[in-house]
Amino acid sequence: MAVTNIGLNASLWMGSQALSANQTAIQTTGNNIANINTPGYARQRANFATDVQTGANGELDMGTQVTSIENLTSSLLNTLVQQSLGAKGYADNQATMTSTVQEALGEQFSTSSSSSTSGTTQAGEGSIQGALTTFFTDFQNLANDPTSSSARQVVAQDAQTLASNLNTAYQRLQTTQAQLATDAGNITSQVNQLSQQIASLNQQIVAVQASGGNTNDLSDSQEEDVEQLSSLVNVTATNESNGSVKVTLADNPSVVLVSGNDSNGQGTTQSLSVTYSATGNPPLTVSGSTTGSLGAGVPSSGSLGSDLDVANNVIGSPAANGNSGLLGQLDSVAAALISAVNTQNKAGYDLNGNAGGNFFTGTGAGDIAVSSTITSNPSTIAAASTSGDTLDGSNALAISQIETNNSDIIPAFQSMVSNLGETVSTAAGNQTSQDQITEQVQNQRDSVSGVSIDEEMTNLINFQQSYAASARFLTTISSLYDTLLNMAPPTG
């Protein structure tokens, strides 16, 4: 095979190209090492290719050149990470917020320290169930001693404690719901900011690509912003041919948050906002600046979706405004208590022989209170079934038996608390499993895009040695030049 002689000048060019290519590779390696902890950064690789020149004598191998700096990413894995982050954002927020709701309800066990060895489990302070059982036990005690002013006073006081506990739990749930609305507002602000950033990056990427520049780092930033957005609200990101990305709500693709394909070639955004009304049904809704209200349960995932779910479904609405979730159930329990106790109290007679009146006032957990007639004069509690029979406590006993006879009070409350516990426990379980899923997907992506110091250092040594060898090659060619020049006869 004939070997084409390329000449010393061409050799010098080849050596110079090799130095340049290895220098670029070293710079790329340095960039990878420098960005090892940069969120969203995907490692880059300098792609080498033989520099082949074609001439009259055929192909001439002119060494090497860097044809491109490639971002090592997988669009499939990126999409999986985005989806996983949306679910993770939902699961994380759900675990935190449902736990907060459980705290707000305030149902806990505590251990009394009365026993020397092990205490007895009892209802914690502020417990509604504890107050309910105490209230009914007080009526049982009153039934056994209906003329006792202290027994009547205890009934009135513990009834006030029960009403207060219901009021407090109700208010705390509403406060938590308002806090969720504030949190949702903060999240939509972040969503809007990220949308603007993505739109801005869209413009830059389109412009740089149009001029033939490298958009690897801009794309990394864009990917990072989309991932952050995904954890806040479940979105679908579609890569456009010009390098921009279009972001829509996964629940409703017609709701476009970011588009880089408008007529001016610029990115545009749609902002989200939340509306909260404690008396609304649902209380918390999300709207788009151009599409209006997104409807119940939209978005369904991401932190924002979780806020909506906890506010609208877990806490829910009072009986008067939708009657759902904990607020609705708490209202139902309070309403059942008010109705049952009032009905029975009115069926009896007080210590003065007068017919009993309403024991409680109000309609639900938010406004239940003990009648001022009872609190100011506990002798008006109708303990007797017969007028004038002051030693008859049978009506008080009947009130105490509401505890076991009425499934809409204590059993309903227990069921409500257990269901909430199940929700919190499930949310915690989902958080754990979603963390693991996200970790696995991120590890898979890191196996493609993540930086390895060992790998980069190995590459660095390779490139360093190639660079040194190329420099030696140039030195050799240079000495050949010197030899040639020394062969020429001295002038003058």
Tokens of 45: 């690789």
Interacting residues of 85 by C-beta distance below 8 A, sequence separation 6+: 227, 230, 231, 438
User: Judged by CB under 8 A, does residue 454 bind another protein?
Assistant: yes
Interacting residues of 475 by C-beta distance below 8 A, sequence separation 6+: none
Binding residues for another protein restricted to 13-42, rule: CB under 8 A: 36-37
Binding residues for another protein restricted to 72-131, rule: CB under 8 A: 98-99, 102, 107-111, 118-124, 129-130
Indicate the burial class of 130 (C-beta count within 10 angstroms; 0-12, 13-18, 19 or more): buried
Strands (E), 205-261: 235-239, 245-249, 256-259
Tokens of 468: 């040194």
Distance CA 347, CA 349 (A): 7
Q: Which of 416, 351, 385, 330 is nearest to 155 (CA)?
A: 351
From candidates 26, 319, 384, 441, binder to another protein by CB under 8 A = 384
Strands (E), 147-244: 235-239
At its nearest, how many Å lie between another protein and the CB of residue 470? 21
User: Judged by CB under 8 A, does residue 176 bind another protein?
Assistant: no
Stretch that binds another protein, among 82-90, 182-190, 373-381, 453-461 (CB under 8 A): 453-461
From candidates 452, 469, 471, 474, binder to another protein by CB under 8 A = 452
User: Judged by CB under 8 A, does residue 355 bind another protein?
Assistant: no
At its nearest, how many Å lie between another protein and the CB of residue 345? 18
Q: Which of 305, 308, 312 is nearest to 326 (CA)?
A: 312
Of the pair 322, 421, the CB lying nearest another protein is at 421
From candidates 14, 374, 399, 410, binder to another protein by CB under 8 A = 410
Of the pair 18, 396, the CB lying nearest another protein is at 396
Of the pair 357, 450, the CB lying nearest another protein is at 450
Cis peptide before 282 (omega within 30 of 0): yes
Q: Whose structure tokens read 């059982």?
A: 133
From candidates 253, 354, 388, 475, binder to another protein by CB under 8 A = 388
User: Judged by CB under 8 A, does residue 242 bind another protein?
Assistant: no
Q: Which of 267, 258, 309, 244 is nearest to 288 (CA)?
A: 258
Identity at 456, one-letter amino acid code: E
From candidates 339, 444, 462, 478, binder to another protein by CB under 8 A = 444
Q: Torsion over CA of 205, 208, 214 and 219, rounded to 10 degrees?
A: -10
Distance CA 123, CA 118 (A): 16
Distance CA 159, CA 408 (A): 18
From candidates 448, 469, 471, 474, binder to another protein by CB under 8 A = 448
Interacting residues of 443 by C-beta distance below 8 A, sequence separation 6+: none
Stretch that binds another protein, among 152-160, 208-216, 220-228, 445-453 (CB under 8 A): 445-453
Size of the site for another protein (CB under 8 A): 71
User: Judged by CB under 8 A, does residue 397 bind another protein?
Assistant: yes
319 backbone dihedrals φ, ψ, rounded to 5°: -55, -35
From candidates 61, 125, 262, 439, binder to another protein by CB under 8 A = 439
At its nearest, how many Å lie between another protein and the CB of residue 456? 9
From candidates 389, 406, 471, 478, binder to another protein by CB under 8 A = 389
User: Judged by CB under 8 A, does residue 400 bind another protein?
Assistant: yes
At its nearest, how many Å lie between another protein and the CB of residue 442? 8
User: Judged by CB under 8 A, does residue 62 bind another protein?
Assistant: no
From candidates 9, 182, 354, 443, binder to another protein by CB under 8 A = 443
Of the pair 268, 449, the CB lying nearest another protein is at 449
Of the pair 21, 143, the CB lying nearest another protein is at 143
Binding residues for another protein restricted to 460-489, rule: CB under 8 A: 461
Decide: 111 and 119 in contact? Cβ < 8 Å.
Answer: yes
Binding residues for another protein restricted to 127-166, rule: CB under 8 A: 129-130, 133-134, 136-137, 140-141, 143-145, 147-148
Tokens of 397: 């006993």
